[in-house]
Amino acid sequence: MTRTTAREIAIHLSYELGFSSLTASELMDLRLDPEVFRTLEEEDEIYREMPNEKQLKYIRQLVTGVGEHSAELDSYIGKYAVGWSFSRISRVASAIMRVAMYEILYMPEIPTGAAINEAVEIAKKYEEPEVVSFINGILGTFVRRECNESGPEENRE
- For the chain, domain boundaries: 3-152
Domain covering 3-152 in this structure, CATH number? 1.10.940.10
- pLDDT (tens place) for every residue of the chain, 157 residues total: 999 999 999 999 999 998 999 999 999 999 999 999 999 998 899 999 999 999 999 999 999 999 999 999 999 999 999 887 777 899 999 999 999 999 999 999 999 999 999 999 999 999 999 999 999 999 999 999 998 654 454 444 4
Q: Contact, 139 vs 151, CB < 8 A?
A: no
Burial of residue 70 (CB within 10 Å: 0-12, 13-18, 19+) is middle
At residue 116, the pLDDT reads 98
Q: What is the structure's pLDDT at 103?
A: 98
Cα separation, 116 vs 19, in Å, equals 25
pLDDT of residue 148: 67
